[in-house]
Structure 1
Amino acid sequence: MRISTRRWAAVTAAALLTPLALAACSSGGSDSSGDDGADAKTLTIWHYENDESAMGQAWNKAIEIFKDEHPGVTVDLEHQTFEQIQKNAKIVLTGDDVPDVMEYNKGNGTAGQLASQGLLTSLTDVAKEKGWDTKLSGSLATTATYDENGLMGSGDWYGVPNYGEFVGVYLNDDMFAANGIEVPTTFDGFEQALAAFKAKGITPLAEAGAEYPLGQLWYELVLHYGDRTLVDDYQLFKNDVDWHGDAMTKATEKLDEWVKKGYIASDSAGLKAEDMGVSFIDGTYPVMVSGSWWFGRLTSEIKFNWSQTLFPENTLHPGSSGNIWVVPTNAKAKSLAEDFIDITLRPEVQDVLGQAGGLPVAGDVSKITDPKTAELTKNFTDILGDDGLAYYPDWPVAGFYDVIVSQLQSLVNQSKSPDEVLDGLQDAYESGKKDLLGE
């Protein structure tokens, strides 16, 4: 196992490719052809899970099983970061030095974009052969399939999810108790708790504006004021989105209000997700709004009493099936990659996910004995029961992740008003939507 940085050193030069040249590099179809690499002697895996996380533990178990069943094959595991893959995958995958299987973000602007550009292998036949299409159905399969325009929810299989995920609220119960503040169960109570902490000189919300967390908090607020119709319009383009309508306006103004009241630290615009997580783990902040992917690490590192709950009074939540395994078109060991993906769906791997709080898609939930893990799993089950998965704010169009980060940083810095932020988001969204739909 090794940490890889060498590929990214070449990305700056590769980025000089013009869009026309890049399109020429990726003009091939997505179906695999010729040798599928069944006789390959190395399987190269990229993922961005740390070893302490539920996913990291499960993928290590899958690698162990893969090695036992493929004794002549070397596994080359390369840890990347989410940001590296998010920003550079399109450029790297046009070359020949690519992984055989890679963890990647799902959605129109990420996996969908790569699939539509011919950079990912169609897994439709394999999904039928190995039964993935029946094991993963309904909303779990939404992020696995993409049409010719890269829109999720129909078309060929280009990825395989192995777990579920959602965004909720992590609470430092000891800080609440020490300050005599009641743990909130309503949205009004949540705001009252934020105000009470601030009145005691404690900034309540751990945040990170340089990466995904702040955008997910904003989206929680959009979902608080919005409904399923808005989600379908925003994510699936069923109708036009009213960017200055009730939900978008109230959410952005509420986030601006929280910034002005000091519920979010002024320096959080430049902080990354790791900074946010570490600050919650070390007890600096009483509240962190973020994803279930933190659960395993929090369990192993936190020394105080803590709990996890859903965003108060929301019936819709950021979340989906987890990140997906994809097989690049230029992979050299596709057959081995497919074997590895199949192993990650086996009960022995899925049960590792479940015990560590990874929300398995094919595990035995009754085997989860830890109370905190059972609580997390119940929260996810409740979301599924309410048809409450609303995906993520950056999914609809390519490049929208960076736009959300930039615009919300401006809100934290107070260099833009809520209306100006919404204008910036709308411009990028509408432009990306036209490009995606070929309008």
Structure 2
Amino acid sequence: MARRGRSGAALVIAMGTLAAACAAPGSNSPQPAATSAAAPSTAPTCGTAPITMNGYFETGFPLPKALTTEFTKQHPNVTWNVREDQFAVITQNAPRVLADNPPDLMRLPQVSELVKDNLLKNLDGYAKVFGWDKWPASQLEQLRLGPGGRPRGEGSLYALGLNSSMTGIFYNKKLAAKIGMSAPPATLAQLDAAMDKAKKAGITPIVQFNGGATGGLAFPLQDLMASYGPAAPINDWIFQKPGATIDTPSNLQAVQHLERWIKAGYFQKDVNAVDYATMMSRFIDGQGLFMFNGDWESGNLDKQLPGDVGFSLMPPAQEGGKRAAMSAPLTFGIAANAKNADCAAFFLNWVATDKRAREIGVEVGGSRPMGPADAYMPEVAADKVTAATLAAGADISKDNGAMDFIANATGAIYAKSWTPQLQKLVAGQQKPQELLKAVQADYTSQLEGN
């Protein structure tokens, strides 16, 4: 859900044999995975004495800092010392930072290996005392892990989301009008036709990033997978269910379709050299019709291009078909040995329950905050792209079409497999039928190595 997906995905080179501890709020002492300490009778707080919280956040995304700023306004005794890095750097640094200089709150990449290495605090005690376990179960499913970090989707809670992010297709309304596109495409064939019209009109059909260690062609690829096949088998693969595979006939159709877009010239020629920031700059400058990205940019686009950006989910291959999308929490966790774990948990609960925090989640984050099913939701003007992303999120929930990000299947699969394989596809050095086989082989090797 990089952001990259944000939703989070990435390279984590962490090995270990201990399951993450099951500990009560405030306890930093590892306990056997089979035991669970009782939750305290009262919810932890940040107290009234001066306290400095250490955070490790992702650069370029304003939501976490906007929330910490508001938190300090409401709780003046709490100040924040925040370090920021690009997501690719965080994914590489995560094990070392969590072990050597554990932050109180950290933007997390793929979490399985971090849990296996006992680097993240088990949040079950906090979930009981704050009532997180009474939220809709689907909100927390992707953040639960079994003993030793697998399988995902069940077991103890090791992270929480600042919101629930989702990917889809942003489009420039002014450029769309130039090719006669007055509404989002309803089928994959209509999307192809719009791209072809844009290309013939001298408009770059898709502005996308695919440079660096965490490339962005995984976004449109997963959307195409959602068009051609059901979400459940993809989630099974991401959650490391026994026997799951990414090398399926419908996923092959998705890669073949992506290759057709590449060969048709629908992406900018230098897509393999474009980073995320450059993609955003180009889209905001009106240099392309479509952009595959997440709703975390909705608030930014409402400010940069007010009224000029639309959003839709990836259309199905057949009209009337169910829609699916990558939808995952913007994941944050607490280091196993965090100095101020109780305050960090109090902050995470505040993000989900405080009225102003939830408004910031929508206004700045562009997506639905996590929290109780009946939690307050601010109104959003109908002409804002944020309104479109929130509506799309409701559609995904109705169709039960939420998928985790394919880059989250293992700690190394994004940087070591998906990104280089997709870069080779762009360069004409890889074939669709071989790409999925290569990724599946890497996946199996990585699971066996763990």
Smaller-chain TM-score bracket: 0.7 to 0.9
Deviation at 1:263, TM superposition (A): 0.6
Whole-angstrom distance in 1 between the partners of 2:381 and 2:197: 35
Q: Residues 237 and 246 of structure 2 are in contact (CA less than 8 Å); yes or no, is this contact kept in structure 1? A: no
- Aligned match of 1:420: 434
In structure 2, the residue matched to 1:315 is 322
Residue 234 of structure 2 corresponds to which residue in structure 1?
Answer: 231
1:162-185 deviation digits (Å, cap 9, x = unpaired): 311111111111012123345422
Q: 1:239 to 1:124 in 2, by over 3 A?
A: closer
What's the offset of the Cα at 1:231? Answer: 2.3
Distance 2:339 2:419 in 1: 35
- Residue 207 of structure 1 and its aligned partner are, at CA, apart by 1.0
* Structure in which a larger fraction of residues adopt helix: 1
Query: Compared with structure 1, are the counterparts of its residues 180 and 94 closer, same or farther at alpha carbon in structure 2 (3 Å cutoff)?
Result: same
How far did residue 370 of structure 1 move?
Answer: 5.0
Kindly provide the CA deviation profile for residues 315-363 of structure 1, in whole angstroms up to 9, marking residues without a partner as x.
Answer: 3433334222211112222222222222212222112212442312234
Paired with 1:61 and 1:226, the residues of 2 have a C-alpha distance of 42
The answer on whether the counterparts of 2:208 and 2:217 sit within 8 Å (CA) in structure 1 is yes
Cα root mean square deviation, aligned: 2.7
1:249 maps onto 2:252 in alignment: yes
Structure 2 counterparts to residues 13-24 of structure 1, below 5 A: 23=16
Shift of residue 91, structure 1, vs aligned partner: 2.1
- 1:269 deviates by 1.0
Is the Cα contact below 8 Å between 1:55 and 1:358 reproduced in 2?
Answer: no
Report the CA distance between 1:232 and its aligned residue. Answer: 4.0
Contact 2:142 2:404 in 1 (8 A): no
Q: Distance in 1 between matches of 2:20 and 2:67?
A: 34
1:92 aligns to 2:97 (yes or no): yes
Aligned: 1:300 with 2:308: no
- Quote the offset at 1:190 in angstroms: 0.4
Pairing 1:343–2:350 present: yes
> What amino acid does structure 1 have at the position aligned with 2:105?
V
Matched residues in 1 for 2:217 and 2:188: separation? Answer: 18
In structure 1, give the amino acid aligned to 2:265: G
Report if the CA contact (8 A) 1:253-1:418 is conserved: yes
Residues 229 and 377 of structure 1: CA distance in aligned 2, closer, same or farther (over 3 Å)? closer
Alignment partner, residue 364 of structure 1: 376
Shift of 1:244: 4.3
Once residues 273 and 427 of structure 2 are traced to their aligned partners in structure 1, the CA distance between those partners, rounded to angstroms, is: 10
Q: State the partner residue of 2:139.
A: 140
Instruction: Give the Cα–Cα distance (whole angstroms) in 1 for the partners of residues 154 and 245 of structure 2.
Output: 26
* Equivalent pair of 2:19/2:116 in contact (CA under 8 Å): no
Query: Partner of 2:407: helix, strand, or coil?
Result: coil
Structure 2 vs 1, CA of residues 236 and 78 (structure 1 numbering), >3 Å: closer, same or farther? closer
Contact 1:146–1:157 under 8 Å retained in 2: yes
Per-residue CA deviation, residues 90-109 of structure 1 (Å, 9 max, x unaligned), is 122221x221111213xxxx
* Deviation of the 1:81 alpha carbon: 2.1
Distance 1:233 1:127, change over 3 A: closer
1:392: which partner in 2?
405
Shift of 1:430: 1.6
Equivalent residue in structure 1 for 2:340, among 333, 349, 353: 333
Q: Match of 2:217, SS?
A: helix
Residues 410, 421 of structure 1: 8 Å contact kept: no
* Worse-superposed segment, 210-219 or 178-187: 178-187
Q: Post-superposition shift, 1:307?
A: 0.8
Q: Tell me, what secondary structure is at the counterpart of 1:293?
A: helix
Report the Cα offset of residue 77 of structure 1.
2.0
* Distance in 1 (alpha carbons) for counterparts of 2:383 and 2:67: 20
Stretches of 4+ aligned residues off by more than 6 angstroms: 36-40
1:101 aligns with 2:105: yes
Q: Does 1:45 align with 2:58?
A: no
Retained in 1: the 8 A contact 2:166–2:294?
yes
> TM-score, normalised to structure 2's length?
0.82
AA paired with 1:360? P
Q: Does structure 1 residue 77 correspond to structure 2 residue 77?
A: no
2:231·2:402 contact (CA, 8 Å) conserved in 1?
no
Deviation of 1:201 (Å): 2.6
Q: Please say which of residues 293-302 and 403-412 is displaced more in the overlay.
A: 293-302
CA distance in 2, matches of 1:50, 1:219: 24
Shift of 1:393: 0.8
- Of 433, 436, 439, the residue aligned with 2:447 is 433
SS of aligned partner of 2:403: coil
Distance 1:369 1:178 in 2: 25
Aligned match of 1:180: 180
Note the 1:25-44 alignment, pairs <5 A: 29=21, 31=23, 32-33=27-28, 41-44=51-54
CA distance in 2, matches of 1:197, 1:391: 31
Matching residue of 1:159: 159
Q: Which residue of 1 aligns with 2:35?
A: none
In structure 2, the residue matched to 1:10 is: none
2:424 alignment partner in structure 1: 410
Take 2:289 and 2:87, find their aligned partners in 1: how far apart are those partners? Answer: 26
Unaligned runs of 5+ in 1: 1-14
Point out the more displaced range, 403-412 or 39-48: 39-48
